[in-house]
Amino acid sequence: MIHALLIALLWFGPQALSPEASEHMQAGIAADKQHQFDAAIAEYGKVTELEPSFADGFISLGQAYMEKHDFASAVAPLKHALELDSSSAAAHRLLGYSLLAQGYAAEAIPHFERVQDKTALGIAQIQTGQLPEAVTNLQAALAVHPNDPDLLYYLGRASGLLSKQSIDSLIAAYPDSARAHQAMAENYFVLRQMPEAEKEYREALHLRPDVPEVHLELGEVYAGSFQWAKAEEEFRAQSKVQPGNAEAAYRLGAALLEQGKVHAARAELARADRLLPDMPETLYSLGKAASLDGDATAAEKEWTRLLSIEKESSLAAQAHFGLASLYRKQGKTAAAQREMQEFQRLQGGSAQPQAPGKQNSQP
Amino acid sequence: MQFGWRPGYANRQRKLALLTFLRTLTVVISLLWVAALAPPIFEAERASGLDFVLQNSPTAQKYLIETMPGGVALLDYNHDGLLDIFVVNGGHVSSPMPVAENFERHDPRYWNRLYRQNKGGTFTDVTQQAGLADAGDGNYGMGVAVGDYDNDGFPDLYVTSYGKNVLYHNNGDGTFTDVTAKAAVAGGGWSVSAGFFDYDNDGKLDLFVVRYMDWDTRHSKDCGGNYHTYCPPEEFPATTNLLYHNNGDGTFTDVSQRSGIAAKKGRGLGVAFADYDGDGFSDVFVANDGMQQYLFHNNGNGTFTELGLEAGTALSEDGRRLSGMGVVFQDYDNDGRPDVIVTELPREIYGVYHNDGGGSFSYRSLESGLGVLSSGSSGWGVGLEDFDNDGWKDLFVAQGHVLDNVESIDHSLHYLELPLLAMTHEGRFERVDSGSTTPVAGRGAAFGDLNNDGWQDVVMTYLGGHPQIFLNHGGKAHWLSVTLRGSHSNRDGFGARVQVNGQTRFATSAGSYLSASDKRLHFGLGTAEKAKVEVVWPSGIHQTLNDVPADQFLEIREPEKP
């Protein structure tokens, strides 16, 4: 990121220099363009000797060091440039980058604040542990540069660390609270340590039966360890506490479907669809439940609805496959073939053997 | 006629409904009480004399072969009326394996073994005297197929390996002869399951050999990063299966290319045969690992066309690829058509492909109840047998994960598992106690009536241990065991469709995983004391026997004329 930003900070040209200094300045710029950074450093060094009050000469020298990834050597000329011109945005920014690159985030922050470089400021604040501020600054930067991968990464990291910080504080301050047990359960769930996660969720419910979302999360623990009847029980409990929770209705429907309870699954999935319409997962499962229930018309309707929303996803592929099976059974050969072709296209060819090299992540 | 409210009628209806409800309640309570008190159907035991240990020899190299053996066969090799047991051994694996692979199978620890059953249910190791000792160099054992390829009345053995396969001809005097070279069925590469069937209905058993992948120890690798696990099949190139046509003179011709079988590369592990579309020719289902499953339709002219996608047996309900391992191709819901059940890895659920007729299948894992029973398990050997003789075929699956360190990767999965025993009624599977309390890495499974009591037993292999025998306690229900003796058709009658009191079986010893089952066809009759038996022989001859008394071993000879 730093290197990319350096490119934007090109030197603007010699200003009122002696002919000899100007010559060295031009030679430095030429060397810089050819990535001959040692030569550039030598030329800019002569400029600073010939014109010791010329701030831009020191800035160029610092920048050349940075381009050579010698951040330590860049600091002195950039600091000197700021002594000559404390208002130089370029010097502040480059000095900030040099310091940050060496891990001196706290020293870098005032320089980024001075030039309101939200991106660099946010990154530096992650390192100094100023997480709420980092999140704010990175969100502001992301508003200006949407979908920038580096920004997305740093915002995710800052948010994650902030979340962990809050949870750590919670567990340290109130270790026996329902929320602390819930938080620990979530950690265990992520680590796929299901028995431990179950125990912590149970303790959370014991301490505070009305704590929101715990039944839903506990249900997912059971679903993750294939205990579908227990999962159903928890999703049902969540749906009772929160009848307007579409996810709870969807999960309950999915758990029922896994157990082959097709009628009940359809009812819950339809409820999920009413609560939060047009969710692709719900529509796919609705179609699947209808198909298993022998209701080809409803299955076709739900999968077609899904395909009107999502055309290229894995769920879309599954919907095409479902439609192909459905049409095949109805003797609609051409339609079945068309759907199968779409399925295979979305699968990236076919379900034939794949070329070696693909790592199966699932044990 | 005028319709109106009739209080008397309504009261009668209410009383009837109450009585019906009470009766139902009584029955349900009784059933629950019986179920709660009923002992397991099987007693899991290690039979006396059965001292075989399946040597898979796991190493730090994580050579894939180590986690894949080994097969078991139930056959009456000496015609004494008792089923004998043949077990396939793996071999010694060096870590790392030298370029010239040697699995030390001259060493008796790594031999395959034949155990003759004695009266009283004990077993005697007759490997050496039967001529089956010393499994040779360069082979790591996998599976076994059983069939009377020369129609001499004695079952022959075909043993598959990573390396070369071996055909042992049963000489009829208690000994076998290695006739691989003459028969030209050595194969090569990595063979797994195999089976005898008569694809062209010429009265001679042909041979289908499933091969797993293009792999060898020199090109092995481990996966899973720091976990060091066996690699998934996608890491290695797919390969072709083999089809050998029986020439009738003790030799076979490799027709893999000519028949179209080799046109489809796969990563097969299991194979089973049945005529799914009723055209009179046996079709082939190959359980492939990590890809679509293959259904080779027999075109009746010596060629096959793979129709898995078209028939609806290639993928899951959601269009997902499956890790097919074991397979059974029999009718689980008594509608007369052979269905397919494929065992797989956890989170995939075992595939139940219901044969709807017209060459089309429906995926019914969830509705049948098998999905919820299998979502956390890894299945290998599998069989559909009527273990309680109630007239519905039940399901047994040997289970255990591929990865010996799977718990460290996913705490909800298990390397060692108990087998699954699920009773079936009206096409719905319900788990019951298998009688086993010790989880193992189950692999092969073969099915048959070991003690000739009319109740089906199971022999299961597992990695690193002795074969487990699941001896059926039996009960009061009636049964019928049918042995086919073909004349126009192959002598074993493989491929015949046999119906007994509305139940259907397709004669075969193949199916499961790496294993071969008792060729006798077992039928539970429930309370029926007589049976109507209908046979459609591969020759096309139809035969019907009425009022056949229950509780007997019945040999049916193919008539000379229809």
The pLDDT score that the predictor gives to residue B239 is 98
Q: Which of A226, A356, A363 faces B235 most closely, judged by CB atoms?
A: A356
Residue at token pair 């209080």: B7
Tokens, residue B70: 């080994």
d(CA B436, CA B429): 19
What proportion of chain A, given as a percentage, has pLDDT over 90? Answer: 83
Q: Residue B334 — very low, low, confident or very high, per pLDDT cuts 50/70/90?
A: very high
Mean pLDDT of chain B: 92
Closest CA relative to residue B270, chosen from B199, B338, B342: B342
Question: Is B150's pLDDT higher than 90?
Answer: yes
In contact, B447 and B396? CB cutoff 8 Å:
yes
Give the C-alpha separation, A319 to A340, whole Å: 10
DSSP, collapsed to helix, strand or coil, labels residue B374 as: helix
- Quick one: which of B184, B180, B186 has its CA closest to B161? B186
Residue A210 neighbours by CB under 8 Å, 6+ apart: A241
Residues with Cβ within 8 Å of residue A106, at least 6 apart in sequence: A124, A128
Contact A363 B401 (CB under 8 A): yes
- For residue B286, the distance in angstroms to the closest alpha carbon of chain A comes to 14
Instruction: Summarize the confidence of residues A176-181 as an average pLDDT.
Output: 94
- Rounded-to-integer distance, Cα B212 and Cα B137, Å: 20
Q: Do A363 and B314 touch (CB under 8 A)?
A: no
pLDDT interval class at B133 (50, 70, 90): very high
The sign of the torsion formed by the CA atoms of B140, B142, B144, B150 equals negative
Amino acid code (one letter) for A253:
G
Best to test chain A binding among B231, B236, B363, B375 (most A CBs inside 10 Å): B375
User: Is the Cβ pair A354, B234 closer than 8 Å?
Assistant: yes
Taking CB atoms and an 8 Å limit, are B366 and A363 in contact across chains?
Answer: no
The answer, yes or no, to whether residue A24 has pLDDT greater than 60, is yes
Cβ atoms of B495 and B538 within 8 Å: the answer is yes
Structure ipTM: 0.85
User: Is the pLDDT score of B22 beyond 80?
Assistant: no
DSSP string, B330-369: E-SSSSSS-EEEE---TTT--EEEEEEETTEEEE-TTTTT
In the structure, what pLDDT confidence band is assigned to residue B158 with cuts at 50, 70 and 90? very high
Peptide bond just before B232 cis, omega within 30 deg: no
pLDDT value at residue B562: 59
Rounded to a whole number of angstroms, the distance from the CA of A175 to the nearest CA of chain B is: 25
CB contact residues (below 8 A), chain B span 295-314, against chain A: 309-310, 312, 314
pLDDT at B497: 98
Please report the pLDDT score of residue B423 as a whole number: 96
CA distance B402 to chain A (A): 8
**How far is it, in rounded angstroms, from Cα A97 to Cα A105?**
9
CB B177 within 8 A of CB B154: no
Q: Does residue A101 contact residue A2 with C-beta atoms inside 8 Å? A: yes
Determine, for residues B291 and A354 on separate chains, whether the beta-carbon distance falls below 8 Å: yes
Mean pLDDT of B150-163: 97
Alpha-carbon distance A186 to nearest alpha carbon in chain B (angstroms):
15
Show the 3-state SS of A31-46: HHHCCCHHHHHHHHHH
- Residue A320 vs residues A284, A287, A288, A312, B313: alpha-carbon distances, Å: 10, 11, 12, 11, 16
What gap in Å lies between CA A217 and CA A93, rounded to an integer?
46
Taking the Cβ of residue B524 and every Cβ of chain A, the question of whether any pair is shorter than 8 Å is answered with no
How much is the average pLDDT of A293-299?
Answer: 96
Q: Can you give the C-alpha Rg of chain B in angstroms?
A: 24
In what order do the strands lie in the sheet containing B428-432? Answer: B379-385, B394-399, B420-425, B428-432
> Out of A211-215, A245-249, B103-107, B256-260, which region has the weakest mean confidence (pLDDT)?
A211-215
Name the least confident of A319-328, A348-357, B4-13, B140-149.
B4-13
Q: Do A353 and B238 touch (CB under 8 A)?
A: yes
The phi and psi torsions of B304 (rounded to 5 degrees) equal: -130, 150
Residue A101, Cβ density class (10 Å: 0-12 exposed, 13-18 middle, ≥19 buried): middle
| pLDDT 10s digits, B345-393 | 998 999 999 999 999 999 999 999 999 999 999 999 999 999 999 999 9
Reference B542, options B273, B150, B278; nearest CA is B278
Cβ–Cβ gap A226/B409 under 8 Å:
no
Instruction: Please report which confidence band the pLDDT of residue A212 belongs to, taking 50, 70 and 90 as the band edges.
Output: confident
Beta bridge partners of B523: B480
The verdict on B426 touching A (C-beta cutoff 8 Å) is: no
- Structure confidence at residue A333 as a pLDDT band (50, 70, 90): very high
pLDDT value at residue B240: 98
With CA atoms as reference, report the closest residue to B384 among B355, B432, B419, B422. B422
CB contact under 8 A, A328 and B312: yes
Question: Span B261-265, mean pLDDT?
Answer: 98
Q: Which of residues 319-348 of B touch A (CB under 8 A)?
A: 319-321, 345-347
Residues 6+ apart with CB under 8 A from B295: B276, B283, B284, B285, B306, B307, B308, B311, B313, B314, B340
Find the range with the poorest average confidence among A9-18, A98-107, B55-64: A9-18
In Å, how far is B364's CA from the nearest CA of chain A? 8
pLDDT at A31: 94
Which residue(s) pair with B557 in the sheet?
B485
Cβ neighbours of residue B340 under 8 Å, at least 6 residues apart?
Answer: B272, B285, B293, B295, B313, B327, B328, B329, B351, B352, B353, B355, B361
Question: Which residue carries 């109740």 as its tokens?
Answer: B455
| CB–CB contact B411 A194 (8 Å) | yes
The partner residue sitting opposite A356, judged by closest CB among B237, B317, B406, is B237
pLDDT given for residue A349 in this prediction:
55
Element containing residue B329 per DSSP (H, E)? strand B327-330
Contact between B318 and A262 using a beta-carbon 8 Å cutoff? no
Contact B198, B489 (CB under 8 A): yes
Q: Tell me if B319 and A258 make a contact (CB, 8 A cut-off).
A: no
Q: State the average pLDDT over residues B8-12.
A: 38
Can you tell me the mean pLDDT for A249-270?
96
- Whole-angstrom Cα distance, residue B377 to residue A219? 20
Q: For residues A12 and A4, is the Cβ–Cβ distance under 8 A?
A: no
Would you tell me which residues 68-97 of chain B have a C-beta closer than 8 angstroms to some C-beta of chain A?
none
> Residue B214 carries which side chain, given as an amino acid letter?
D
**What share of chain B has pLDDT > 90, as a percent?**
86
Q: What are phi and psi of A79, to 5 degrees?
A: -65, -40
Min Cα distance B255 → chain A (Å) is 23
Phi, then psi, of B158 in degrees rounded to 5:
-125, 120
**What was the pLDDT predicted at A318?**
96
Token representation of residue B15: 């009383």
Residue B219 CA from chain centroid, whole number: 31
Q: Are A220 and A204 in contact (CB under 8 A)?
A: no
What pLDDT does A13 receive? Answer: 46
Please write the tens of the pLDDT for every residue from B512-549: 999 999 999 999 999 999 999 999 999 999 999 999 99
